[in-house]
Amino acid sequence: MPNDKLKLGLDIGKIHHIFSRKMDAAVINAIDDSITVSQAYVIDFICDRCQGKDVFQKDLEKEFDLKRSSISLMLSNMEKSDLIKRVAVCDDARLKKIVLTEKSLKLYESICIAIDSVENKIAENITPEEIEVFNRVLNKIRNNLK
């Protein structure tokens, strides 16, 4: 008798672990182990998708779907590693924009290549239409869990 019980969460978890291992290896090979993959994604996000726009902690919380305390800890570690600076905004001194340092800007190209290589690998043999359907299903799953 076949077991028809859905185990989407288990399958998603398995894919997550495989993806994380591949991405960790790619980032470490491209740069070194001085930054984490999450920090690499933050640098990529700020450079790639926020060109010229101010980026604040709340933007990172929303983009990466992480709690304020998690992002705050990551940003503190990035600041200690000279990857970012938090700069007060002239309109509101309480508000701090996240600015990449020269060090992180130098790492950006290597980060971008590493991330793109893994992202391209997971999209191999998948049509744009299948990716569109996949994204719709992921959004439904995400909304179901909220």
Side-chain half-sphere CA neighbours of 136 within 13 A = 6
- Is 1 inside a domain boundary? no
For the chain, what is the domain count?
A: 1
> What's the confidence (pLDDT) of residue 3?
65
pLDDT tens digit sequence for 23-51: 888 888 888 777 888 899 999 999 887 77
Supply the CATH number for residue 112's domain. Answer: 1.10.10.10
Write down the pTM of the prediction.
0.79
Residue 4 neighbours by CB distance under 10 Å: 5
- Is 34 inside a domain boundary? yes
- Is 100 inside a domain boundary? yes
**Mean pLDDT throughout 63-81?**
95
Whether the pLDDT of residue 2 is over 70: the answer is: no
- Is 43 inside a domain boundary? yes
- Is 3 inside a domain boundary? no
- Is 65 inside a domain boundary? yes
> What's the confidence (pLDDT) of residue 5?
77
pLDDT tens digit sequence for 105-131: 999 999 999 999 999 999 999 999 999
Which of 2-11, 15-24, 50-59 has the highest mean predicted lDDT (pLDDT)?
15-24
> What's the confidence (pLDDT) of residue 108?
92
Cβ neighbors of 101 (< 8 A, separation 6 or more) are: 82, 83, 84, 85
- Is 2 inside a domain boundary? no
Residue 100 near residue 47 (C-beta atoms within 8 A): yes
Which residues span the domain enclosing 33?
8-145
- Is 126 inside a domain boundary? yes
